[in-house]
Every structure is written in structure tokens, then in C-alpha cells.
Structure 1
Amino acid sequence: MADSLHPSTVSCPLHIFGITVDFSKSKINVVSAEARISKLNSPHGLEREAGKSLRRTFSPHMVLSREDSFSLHLRYRKGLRTKHEDIIFDTDDMIRAYNASERQEYIKFHKNINIVVDLSGNTTTKVDQSVSSGQSLELRSTTSEIFQSYPRFRILVIGKTGVGKSSLINHVFGVEKTIASHDKPGEVSIDDEFSSPQNKRFVLHDSKGFEPGDEKNLKIVQDFIERRKEMTPENQLHAVWICFEIPRADGRLLETGTDEFLTLKSSGKLGNVPVIVVFTKYDMLIDRVERTLDESSLDGLSDQAVKELIKNKAEAELQDICIRPLEKFAGEGDVRFPHATISTEEVYKETLTHLIQITEKCVGLHSAPEAAVITSIAQRVHPGLKVKASIEVGKKKYWKALASSTTFKNHKTWDCLYVLHTDIVNVWNFYDPHHYLRSQEFRELTTNIVDKLEVGPTPNPTQTMAFGLSMVGTIAGIVTALAGPAAPIVVPIAVGAVLAVWVHDVYKISRAVLQRFMAYIIHLTLVLQTLYLVSEGKEITRRAIKLSIASYLASPMSGEVVARIQEYDRQLSILERTDRDILDKIIEVMQFYSIDAAHMSDLRGKLSVDLTSDEPW
């Protein structure tokens, strides 16, 4: 009989349709691997793929019930010796992971070997009938539900060759390889989808700019936008960026063709899809202004004053040749064309933040709220939008019901943490091909932060962004203290009896439980913000994660978070506390310690950390 404390039972057992064993980061050489389910008479061997990996796709699927045991038998060479080992999987944990994630896969690390078990979409769950509740008790992450309808931010980028589209896309969405279609002229159409394995949460449609008299391309773009309006949410267009290189003072911004497209938008024929005008290569405008300065006018000015003078002259020229012509074209009607001036040069990265802020706001005004969330998830230039998206996701289901326990009733604490953790990690959308942030090890590290932190100093309500510089100093201190670039970063991972309580206890409202859940949400978010600072959009390594955790624990921020939560707890009795109060407090603390994009860029300039190498947990 099923344990009545289990959140759900599986009406159709888990269907395993594939297993991958990746030992490229391990010192051992795996010779063979066999998947075994207790009730099967014969094991299923995996086949060697290119590189250091094994793979097997099962047809028919392997069927795994809760009462079954599941293991992977490895044979590997270490030095001159051949060894055998059985890796045992926790069936309950596999079911928990399946329910919490849209990815439909279970990830396990063993001796630097990455094992991915693909779970079939045929698997369904139902409520355990032994639990006396009239409501469905399935726990599924809110982001997983959003991704079902809005799996990717879909954008159309219009602009002539050389305007900077590829660089813009690569920097905003954190990808390295150019994916724009103008690299393959004549081979693609506007319906082609361009994406990158480095960021699976966005998809690009590319179109060349409008030449005078080229009605054909204008018609193609118009038809594309109109067709997308009638499609399912998954395939609808969320935004259009139309890109112009900032012209010289005597140049013309809007040519015939471009103005016709904007007329279509202002007349309503393109529907509600936001069209944002993007003025590119702002750095070149700055350079032109600097070259034309009268040297005599700079006498006696400091370097900072000269920079301000150049910036003001550039802004005035931008108004004359770009913004006012655009506003004049819009006329006196209700339609205005949101616009942003951008450069992908490092010193002007904050301009990309402004563009994505405008885009997210426009998508939120004209599409479903979930579309604005996926916009924030897809972008990789504005950490503040990650925090905002986490809050929006939290408001939808779990964060707003911590005190009432309506959604967590009869669930184990660890199951509840699983969905909270999955949602927050999904929102930050790191390039994490090895799934380190979804691993059991990282979940346990986060749990350890919650239970091991001592209360720090009483927080100063007038504190400024100085804690960002404090964090940079802490990171630099930890890196400097290491014996060498290969010295491991040590963080506590064993939580022992404390973790056992989280895993086995059923969620019940109490002061301690509410403090822990609030702390888990806030600590995890701020650790990921630190990881965002040190990773700079590169592939996530365990070394980077451990540095982020160690730096956060060593910073004043972590102790202050605990102090704020405990001070809040002392102010109200359990009977007076409401879900609204708890949600507001989580938001208040997260926003207080969030680092805005401009400050984040400044902090990165003060860091020099090589995290390309990896190390075990």
C-alpha cells in the first residue's frame, strides 16, 4: 500500500525512454553501463557515442513503478584496473523531480559522471486516495506550466546588413555564435527559426531592412505578423525590433519602405505586437562627436567634465536626427513608437538594459502576463528583471500560500522546496548544460545555507548599494586566498539530520517552517544573483557555483537576510500572519538586496576571476 504521506502516487508508472552517461569531466573511463529494474530479468546495455559518453534510447520504454528498484551498473577502468559499481537511484526522488520540472528528465551526479534519465511524457500522476482531501495535491512548478504555452520568447528583428543585429541578439540573450540569417543570404525565409543551445528560451526570426520601392519584403513581413496573430500562444510573436544605424547629421532616418511599415503599425493593421525602434551603434556617434570637438573649448575641464560634454552633445544630435523625426512621423495620434539607443560595446552595456526594459514593459501591456515573464527569463542583461519575474511567478501559486498551506497541504517539505527551487532556477535561465543548478547537490547546499547561518548584524534601513562592493571584495578575497587556480573551493554540503527532517516531514504551518521557506527563497535568489555576477553569461561550472555560495555566506548580506526575517517573525503572532504579509516581506528583502544592471556591470569591471575550470562538489 502506498504511504499516505506521499504527495501522489503514479497511476501510470514512470516511463524511461532514454539514459545518457557523460563521463567527459571524470578521470575514470567508463567501459560499459547497464540499466536495471528490479523486476526485469535482463539488464539494458547502453551504447558508446562520440566522445566520452554512453547512450541508449528504449523502445518500448522501460517502466518503473514506485516499489521497483532502479540502478545503473558501471564497468570502468581506473589506471590499469577494471572495476564494477552499482549506482542506486531513489525512485521517490525521480517522481518528485518529474512532477517539479517541465524538462521531464532526472539528473544524477556520481564521481563527476553526469547521468541523465529521460522520462516519458506519457507519465501522469493522480492524488493518493488515502489522503483525505478534495483537491488535487500534485506539485508542479509554476514556470513549467508557463513553459507549456510560452516556452520561448519569440522576436522578429528587422534591419539591413551591417546594422548590428547579430551583435545585439548575441549580447542581449547571452549567446556567442551568430545566428542571424543574413549570414546565409538567399537561403532562408522569415519563417525560419534561429535559436542557440546556449539559451533555449528565445527564438529569432530575421528579416532584412526595407529598401525604397521594395514592396515585396514589406508584404512578407506584414503577412508574417498577421499569420502569427492567429497561432497558438507557443507560436505567437512577442515583439519586433526594427533596427537603424544612427545616421550622420545630414542623413535620413526613415526611408520609403520603413515609413510604410511604421504606418501599418500606427494604423492598427499589425495588431498588438509591440514594435520597438532600435537606434544602433551609439558608440560611433560618441566617437564622431568627440572628433569634432573644438579643442579650445576643453581648456580647464576635467576628464569627467569632457565626458559629460561629449555625452550631452551626442544626446542633442540624437534628438535632432533620430527621436524628433520619429515623433514627427508618429504625428498627433495615439500611437507612439517606443525606442531605445544601444551599443554592444562594454562601456555602454546599460543601453541594452534599457532596451530590454522597454521590450518587457511593452510585451506586458499587449500580451498575456506569462509572455512578459518569458521575456524576462530569456534576456541575460538585466538581473533586476530576473528578480521581478521570480516575484511574478511566486505570486501565481506557491509564495502567496505559504501561511495558509493550501497548496502544500499533505506534501513533504522537500517536495515543496523542489518546486520553489525549480521555479527560481528556471527564471534565472543560466547556461547550465550539465544541470548543476537542478542537481541534488546544489539543492542540499541551499538547504544548508538556510539551516547553518548565524544571525548577522541588525540591518541598516538606510544602507545603500555598498553591499555590492562588499561582495566583490569578498569574492576577490576568497580567490586570492586559494593556493592556486586549481585549488578547490570548499563549502559545507553535508546537512545530515537536518536534511532528513526536510525530506520526511510533512509541511505544517509553524514559525520555524515559515522562516525556513522564506529564507530558502531569498537566499537562493541572492546566491543566483552572485552567480550572475561572477559567471558573466558563460557556461556554469560547479566551481562558479561554490564560489558564489562561499562569497554569499561570507558577506554581510546573508546574515542580514536572516536578521530581517527573524525581526519580521517577532512582530506578528502566527494567528495574525497572513499570506499577503509574508509575500510582501519576501519581495521587500529580495528587492532591497538586488543589484541593478548598471551597478552589476560596474562591479564586473572590478572582478578578475577565471572560472572556466571545474571541480567536484
Structure 2
Amino acid sequence: MPKISDFSGVGKSSLVNHAFNVDTAIVAHQEHGICDINTEIISQQNPRFVLHDSQGFEPGEVTNLEKVKNFIQSRGMNTALKDRVHAVWLCIEVPFAGGRVFETGDEEFLKFAALNRDLPIVVVFTKFDQLVSRMEENMSEEEMDMSEEDINKLSLSRAEIEFTDLCIRPLEHVDHMLPYAKVSVEPQYQLTLANLIDLTQGLVENHVEGDVWIVSAMAQRASAQAKINSSIEVGMKKYWQGLASSANFGGSTLAQCLATIHVDITSSWNFNDPDNLLNGENFQCDIKRLAQLVAPDPAECLSWFESLGNIQTLIGVGTVFTSAVAPALAAIGLSAVFIKWIAVIYQQTPEVLRCLMGYIVDLTLIMDQLFLDTLPIKPPRRLTEEQVEMALENYTASDAALVHREIREYANKTTFSRILRSNNAQEKVRELIGKYNTVDASAELPRT
């Protein structure tokens, strides 16, 4: 997803690194402060990521401003979709009190943006954490005697007010319709990056035709919600519509179907996974071990597994005691019956429907868990076996049994033929992912 940003020193390199989980090396090769906007900047750590970086609009200098405007216009609606500028981030550092937030070049660019409403442009105010810190530094001695939590709350509250005066009002004076976001790359402000990504995603989805928003959601590595949305959309387009009939799988074995689903879902999350841990045999077997538990009818479970033991909770037919779930999964392997069962050509049966639903939901929610587990780590966050195993264990110990129970309850409410005719299995998949994902949409800005 191409981006343009402004001014060296405003924190744009750190912003790009954290938003797309890449290393500063991607921009380190350029001479400080000098960038060629026509040059694509890419990273092996995130192959979906493409950046076009401007030099910035120095006071009194108009050449680069014209160069940026010409570049944007040359990558407009008449250009092939893959070569267009899909979104612009104009990065401006939050100023000190009394400082000017926009230079003349910035204001001219914002006026240009106002005339190009079809292009998603976001004004990104960087280093918001420093404004919060300044609010704390200016507190009275009496205020500093408060608890740390109260100090943080008061600092953030005053910073929000100051931000309105320093940044929002000047922006509205230039153009009150331009979207904006305040960000910080400090760990406790991770939500600000997610908010920026979600804002940008919404603009891209509304302004750029086709599936560009899905690709951009895959490229970003800061918003779990955007990842979930893209994963759902990929699934809806390729598998979920008509999940019970699954015309896409005609003539394939169930094992081949599961392998295809696995790669497509993991690819949509776009982790930094050079060791291919997510598509390796071990992890695919782990997801199959989960999916096999929801596939058989309760009456056939004994014939599928040598000993039910504690795994009855994971199967979704016993009382759910989640504390016993994780050890239970670790103690079982792939059932010989299951291995033989998925080796046959895909058929329209209730067992197949439950297996596909379980595989899609289990894998998506584990990806969500892994994403949030690795998010606090400094970029480029290369995946490790330990991180993958921990995400699997956390999901298994928390929600797997509940998810499997709901899949069984859904399948038991009506006949398979009715599910097939109504074509609504995909809605249950979407519902389960929405219900059990770890994104907290009501979360507040983290405190300092």
C-alpha cells in the first residue's frame, strides 16, 4: 500500500516500522533528509509493503511540493490499480505550545488534498506521547502527590485539550473535512497505531475500487481488527459462501481442502515468518488436531479416539472446564480414523461441514491471538516456534471448547439439507470469529 509522508525528524521512520513491522534499514540507505518520491521502498520483511517517501516541504521551498503533487496526479485514477497511490500519510510532529504546526508547504499540500477528495489522505500527528509527558512535567507539586494512575489520567486529559488547540483547530482552519490521527510508537500507545490503520482502511475501502483495501489490510501489522476483517473477506470470497456445498472443493480430498484453506488464511495475516512456521507441517497438524475434535458425531467419538478422557470438553459435548483443555490437546495426536477420513474425496456431509467450520474459526482465532501476543515486540517481530506454540496453547485453554460447542449446537439445530439450502453456514463462522476474537473495540487509549 503506497504511502507518502513528510519531513525527516518527525518520526515517520518509526511510524512506518511499527505500522508495517519492518526494520529501519528500509530507509537507512537514503541520504538523511533527501528522498526521491519516485523510488519504491520495499522490505523483504514485509513483501506486501510499498512506500513512496517525500523529502518534506521545507519553509520557502516549492520544488518538492510540486514534485509530490505531480507524482500523486500521475498515479491517479487513469493509472493501473496496482500502480496508484492508494493512501497518503502527511506526517506532522505535534508542536510545542506557541509553535506553528503547519509550514506554508504543508498548508499548500492540504489545499491540494482538499481538491482531491478521491484520494485517501490522513494528516498524522506524530509523537503524541511527548505532549502527554510535557503535561506531566508542568503539573504542580500538589498534583504530583496523586497516585500514578491519577497522574497519568490527568496528563492524558490535558494533552487531549492541548492537542485540540495546537493541531485540530489549525487543521480545521485549513480544511475541516480532512481526516487526522494522533499517534505514538511507544508501547503503551499501541492503540493509536491501530486507530490510524483502521481509519486509513476505511478511507481506502470507500475511495478505491476493488479489493485494494484487503491487500492494504494484509500489508499493515498494527491493527488486529483490520487483520480479522481481511481474513474474513478472503474467506467469504473463496470458501464461506456456500460452505456446506463448497463447490470450490469439487474433486479434491478433504485433506487438500484443509491445506488450501490453511495457506490462504495464514497468508492474509502476513506475519514476518521467514522460517515458514505457520505453513509448516507441525503447525498444520496442530490445527488438524483441533478440527478433528469437532468433526465426528458424539456417538462416533469413541471410535475416532482411543480414549476420550479430558478431551471430551474440547470435542464440545461435555461440560466445559477450560483449565483441563490445554493439557488434553497436548496429550493427543491425530486420530488414525481422522487421517483416513480426510484422505477421501470431499463430500457434503455434516461431519465435513463441522470440520471446515472448526478449521476456519480455530485457525483465524489462533492467528488473532498470535498477532496480539507479538504486537508489543520491537519490529520486525520475526516469528518463533515459542510464540506460535504459546498462541495455540492460549486459544486452546480459553475458547476452543466453547467454539466447538457452538459449532455443534449450530449444526444440531437444523438438518444438513436445510443448512445447505439456506447457505448460512458462513454467517455462523463470521459470528464465532466476531464473538471470540481478542480485539476489544471499547478499549481506551493506553495510559502512560
TM-score strictly above 0.5: yes
Structure 2 residue 50 is matched with structure 1 residue 196: no
Q: Distance in 2 between matches of 1:327 and 1:402?
A: 48
Q: Is the 8 A contact 1:456 1:556 kept in 2?
A: no
Q: Distance in 1 between matches of 2:325 and 2:51?
A: 39
Q: Distance in 2 between matches of 1:330 and 1:601?
A: 28
Task: Indicate the residue corresponding to 1:376 in structure 2.
Answer: 217
Q: Distance in 2 between matches of 1:206 and 1:582?
A: 44
Superposed counterparts of 1:67-86, under 5 Å:
none
What is the CA-CA distance between 1:533 and the residue it aligns to? 3.7
Q: Distance in 2 between matches of 1:541 and 1:500?
A: 31
Task: Indicate the residue corresponding to 1:180 in structure 2.
Answer: 27
Q: Distance in 2 between matches of 1:597 and 1:427?
A: 21
Number of matched pairs: 419
TM-score (norm 2): 0.86
Percent identity, aligned pairs only, is 34
Q: Alpha carbons of 1:181 and 1:543: their partners in 2 closer, same or farther (altered >3 Å)?
A: closer
1:239 to 76, 83, 87: 87
Task: Indicate the residue corresponding to 1:296 in structure 2.
Answer: 142
1:551 aligned partner, one-letter code: N
Superposed counterparts of 1:108-123, under 5 Å:
none
Q: Distance in 2 between matches of 1:178 and 1:168?
A: 14
Task: Indicate the residue corresponding to 2:424 in structure 1.
Answer: 581
Q: Distance in 2 between matches of 1:400 and 1:184?
A: 50
Task: Indicate the residue corresponding to 2:278 in structure 1.
Answer: 437
- Between the two structures, name the one with larger relative contact order (CA 8 Å, sep ≥ 6): 2
The Cα offsets for residues 565-601 of structure 1, whole Å up to 9 and x where unpaired, read as 0111111111221564211110111111111268999
Structure 2 residue 170 is matched with structure 1 residue 325: yes
Superposed counterparts of 1:361-372, under 5 Å:
361-372=202-213
Q: Distance in 2 between matches of 1:524 and 1:602?
A: 29
The Cα offsets for residues 509-544 of structure 1, whole Å up to 9 and x where unpaired, read as 111111110000011112222322444462223333
What are structure 1's unaligned runs of at least 5 residues? 1-152, 460-466, 479-488, 604-617
Q: Distance in 1 between matches of 2:99 and 2:279?
A: 52
SS in 1 for 2:104: coil
Superposed counterparts of 1:556-567, under 5 Å:
556-567=398-409
Structure 2 residue 101 is matched with structure 1 residue 260: no
Task: Indicate the residue corresponding to 2:287 in structure 1.
Answer: 446
What is the CA-CA distance between 1:266 and the residue it aligns to? 0.7
Q: Alpha carbons of 1:244 and 1:188: their partners in 2 closer, same or farther (altered >3 Å)?
A: closer
Q: Alpha carbons of 1:494 and 1:597: their partners in 2 closer, same or farther (altered >3 Å)?
A: same
Q: Alpha carbons of 1:432 and 1:514: their partners in 2 closer, same or farther (altered >3 Å)?
A: same
Structure 2 residue 393 is matched with structure 1 residue 547: no
Superposed counterparts of 1:405-554, under 5 Å:
405-452=246-293, 454-456=312-314, 492-503=332-343, 505-536=344-375, 538-553=381-396
The Cα offsets for residues 331-355 of structure 1, whole Å up to 9 and x where unpaired, read as 5xxxx11111011111111111111
Q: Is the 8 A contact 2:35 2:54 kept in 1?
A: no
Task: Indicate the residue corresponding to 1:309 in structure 2.
Answer: 154
What is the CA-CA distance between 1:330 and the residue it aligns to? 1.0
Q: Alpha carbons of 1:352 and 1:416: their partners in 2 closer, same or farther (altered >3 Å)?
A: same
1:287 aligned partner, one-letter code: S
Q: Distance in 1 between matches of 2:63 and 2:445?
A: 45
What is the CA-CA distance between 1:443 and the residue it aligns to? 1.9
Q: Is the 8 A contact 2:94 2:125 kept in 1?
A: yes
Q: Is the 8 A contact 1:246 1:279 kept in 2?
A: yes
What is the CA-CA distance between 1:267 and the residue it aligns to? 1.7
Q: Which structure: greater strand fraction?
A: 1
Q: Alpha carbons of 1:310 and 1:546: their partners in 2 closer, same or farther (altered >3 Å)?
A: closer
Task: Indicate the residue corresponding to 2:198 in structure 1.
Answer: 357
What is the CA-CA distance between 1:188 and the residue it aligns to? 4.5
2:80 aligned partner, one-letter code: T
2:439 to 596, 599, 609: 596
What is the CA-CA distance between 1:474 and the residue it aligns to? 9.8
1:591 aligned partner, one-letter code: G
Task: Indicate the residue corresponding to 1:50 in structure 2.
Answer: none
TM-score (norm 1): 0.63
2:340 aligned partner, one-letter code: A
Q: Distance in 1 between matches of 2:333 and 2:75?
A: 48
Q: Is the 8 A contact 2:288 2:334 kept in 1?
A: no
SS in 1 for 2:346: coil
Q: Alpha carbons of 1:590 and 1:325: their partners in 2 closer, same or farther (altered >3 Å)?
A: same
2:122 to 276, 294, 301: 276
Superposed counterparts of 1:99-110, under 5 Å:
none
Tell me how large the CA RMSD over aligned residues is.
2.9
Q: Alpha carbons of 1:283 and 1:474: their partners in 2 closer, same or farther (altered >3 Å)?
A: farther
SS in 1 for 2:103: coil
Q: Distance in 2 between matches of 1:599 and 1:539?
A: 29
Task: Indicate the residue corresponding to 1:226 in structure 2.
Answer: 73
Q: Alpha carbons of 1:491 and 1:540: their partners in 2 closer, same or farther (altered >3 Å)?
A: farther
Q: Distance in 2 between matches of 1:247 and 1:529?
A: 36
Q: Alpha carbons of 1:490 and 1:512: their partners in 2 closer, same or farther (altered >3 Å)?
A: closer
What is the CA-CA distance between 1:551 and the residue it aligns to? 3.4
